Structure 1
Amino acid sequence: MIQGASISLFVCVVEEGSFSAAARVLGVAPSSVARQIQQLESALGARLFQRTTRKQSLSEAGELYYRHAKRAAEELDAARSGIARMTGAPAGVLTVTVEPDLAVALISPLLPEFLRGHPEVKVKLLFSSPIADLVEGRIDLAIRMGQLKDSSLVARKLFDSHSQLYASPAYLKAQGTPAHPSDLAGHQCLSFRTSAGPSFWRFDTPDGPCDVPVSGPVQANGLAFLKALAVSGCGVVMMPEWAVREQLDNGSLVPLLAEFVSLPAGTPVSAVYAERRQLEPKTRAFVDFLTARLPKS
């Protein structure tokens, strides 16, 4: 008899692309995945995968079986989720989409504690665009920065993100320390950009909001990349305080113009999920955990 777990494992292997990738998601050894697939093939009397030393692909029988197994796995997940809601026990695979910078700085340090407290939950992180479709992608939760635009989603604010200017001591020694936002015109500024066009940094000054045009050798849409450049002395960077805590502690970056608040003064970081009458216990448990552990500002 073919067990539901074998069907779910087969679907996971197909969607993850390999035995080893599925093993990482499921938290088991690759040899265990291979053994269960072999048992499934024996039970079906057909080879599901075509394997070579370089790649793995579905056989014709595997394609047919996947179409039916996918629906069966979804029904099994729905049944497990329904039972979990009845019992109130967090369980199952929690799929979360989050930007890589947020994942590394904020989620990664906390995840081991969450998993220890909820051993029946497995977390699948997707480092994808913040506009990923949660319903179509069957994603339980997104961690996003900025205001919520999709009215069909629900956002629970985790904390406010505050940005500031930073530079390395070596850069400041060579180029001098700006005393006013207007001084940035004479500095190499490393800009976070997701679209083309001129860059402006906005500050709150005694004379009101001030837009400062900035330029420099690099524009990028990755905080970790820009932070590494700033540490190496390439220029001044503006980024959230949570992204540079380690560098502030070890002195590789120092804050600049702290008396001038960068605008917007606070950007919400929220847990976002599709509107439902009742959150699944695994999702609610993770949101409650993040709310309790993350700093509020």
Structure 2
Amino acid sequence: MRTNHMIALMAEMAVFVKVVETGSFSEAARQLGAAPSAVSRSVARLEKALGTRLLQRTTRKLRLSESGHEVHARCVDMVSAAQAVMAVSGQFGPEPQGVVRVSVPKAVGRFIIHPHIPEFLAHYPKIDVQLQLNDRYVDLIDDQVDLAIRITNRPSPGLMGRKLIEIHHMLCATPRYLERNGTPVHPQDLKTHNCIFLGEEPGDSRWKFQRGGKSASVNVHGRYAVNHTGARLDAVLHHVGIGSLPYFTARHALEQGQMVQVLPDWTFTTNYCGEAWVLYPPTRHLAPKLSAFINFITKRLSQEPTLDRPAKVQESPPIPPYESPEATG
């Protein structure tokens, strides 16, 4: 491809990135100040020049083709590089700015991320945050989010990111409940207790434990199952039974003596344990607004006090302005 032709296509590549970012030709046109037909022709010219279909169009949404995913990643790098140049020259603004769209699991978002958002907004007056709390799998491109926080021990190899904190679960009950019903000394003792569990999957009522080289599992029963961490915490505090809770939810009540950990010498394992990672599409030049958000949240979480039982938060160095952040894959 001739250099002149390649330079001419850079504008089409930027339009293509905006179409994918917004999910529609009309919204991309609105944000670019152009006609939808002009945006459509721009993408068509790029497809013709590359000799491949980039977008699969339906009546309801746009979806990247297999080759479109590859091309989009490279075009995002180009746009990010251009933004980095503008930032260096001062034309992009002295402060990070724009909207940061973050998808977070409900409990992690409510108890870990949300408490730090007011301070972040005060520190960065030109950045707006859209925090989307949901427990379903979110595709960063299809769902139009900048960052996704996921609980996983194997981050997607096609994404980049940073480990934030380890998520540990434990069993908790109030002293009053244990005085009335006895304190379990072995996982099998849970069979005689009223247990509060998630209740979304059949396996949620089969609790698994490890201690040393031994493992144990028990099918628990209870009068109350609820798929909301805050609701399970409230039920435990109202002496309903022994509940499964992530440590970050239980921490304050444990510190205040409102409840205690049950079977503390056993490790309670669930499918919801793992490492919380903040993930984003691969890029050599992360937008300043995203670097600001990631660095801020990472620093605040590294300062969170912890008990001895859960793993410590991993403190990570700040993201350099124009270097590739740590890749997960």
Contact 1:168–1:231 (8 Å) recurs in 2: yes
Residue pairs, 1:111-122, within 5 angstroms: 111-122=117-128
Contact 1:193–1:219 (8 Å) recurs in 2: yes
User: 234, 258, 276: which is aligned to 1:269?
Assistant: 276
Contact 1:198–1:213 (8 Å) recurs in 2: no
Pairing 1:72–2:41 present: no
Contact 1:130–1:144 (8 Å) recurs in 2: no
Aligned to 1:285: 292
CA distance in 1, matches of 2:121, 2:263: 40
Give the structure with the higher percent strand: 1
Aligned to 1:155: 161
Aligned to 1:55: none
User: 167, 170, 173: which is aligned to 2:176?
Assistant: 170
CA distance in 2, matches of 1:278, 1:126: 24
Report % sequence identity.
30
CA distance in 2, matches of 1:216, 1:245: 23
Aligned to 2:257: 251
Gaps (5+ residues) in structure 2? 1-21, 35-75, 89-94, 303-311, 314-329
CA distance in 2, matches of 1:270, 1:262: 21
Per-residue deviation at 1:160? Answer: 1.0
Pairing 1:239–2:245 present: yes
SS of the counterpart of 2:179? Answer: helix
CA distance in 2, matches of 1:293, 1:73: 34
Shift in alpha-carbon separation, 1:194–1:86, aligned structure 2, 3 A: farther
Contact 1:190–1:217 (8 Å) recurs in 2: yes
Residue pairs, 1:124-135, within 5 angstroms: 124-135=130-141
Contact 1:148–1:155 (8 Å) recurs in 2: no
Per-residue deviation at 1:80? Answer: 10
TM-score by length of 2: 0.63
CA distance in 2, matches of 1:137, 1:86: 27
Contact 2:160–2:281 (8 Å) recurs in 1: yes
Which segment is superposed worse, 175-184 or 199-208?
199-208
SS of the counterpart of 1:230? Answer: helix
Shift in alpha-carbon separation, 1:141–1:158, aligned structure 2, 3 A: same
User: Given residue 255 of structure 1, which amino acid in structure 2 is its aligned partner?
Assistant: Q
CA distance in 2, matches of 1:278, 1:180: 52
Pairing 1:195–2:153 present: no
Gaps (5+ residues) in structure 1? 1-14, 16-65
Aligned to 1:87: 87
CA distance in 2, matches of 1:199, 1:230: 16
Pairwise CA RMSD = 2.9
Cα shift readout 1:24-45 (whole Å, capped 9, x = no counterpart):
xxxxxxxxxxxxxxxxxxxxxx
Contact 1:153–1:274 (8 Å) recurs in 2: yes
Pairing 1:222–2:222 present: no
CA distance in 1, matches of 2:165, 2:247: 12
Cα shift readout 1:22-71 (whole Å, capped 9, x = no counterpart):
xxxxxxxxxxxxxxxxxxxxxxxxxxxxxxxxxxxxxxxxxxxx974552
Shift in alpha-carbon separation, 1:111–1:81, aligned structure 2, 3 A: farther
Cα shift readout 1:95-145 (whole Å, capped 9, x = no counterpart):
011122112211122112222221111101111234111111210111121
SS of the counterpart of 2:197? Answer: strand
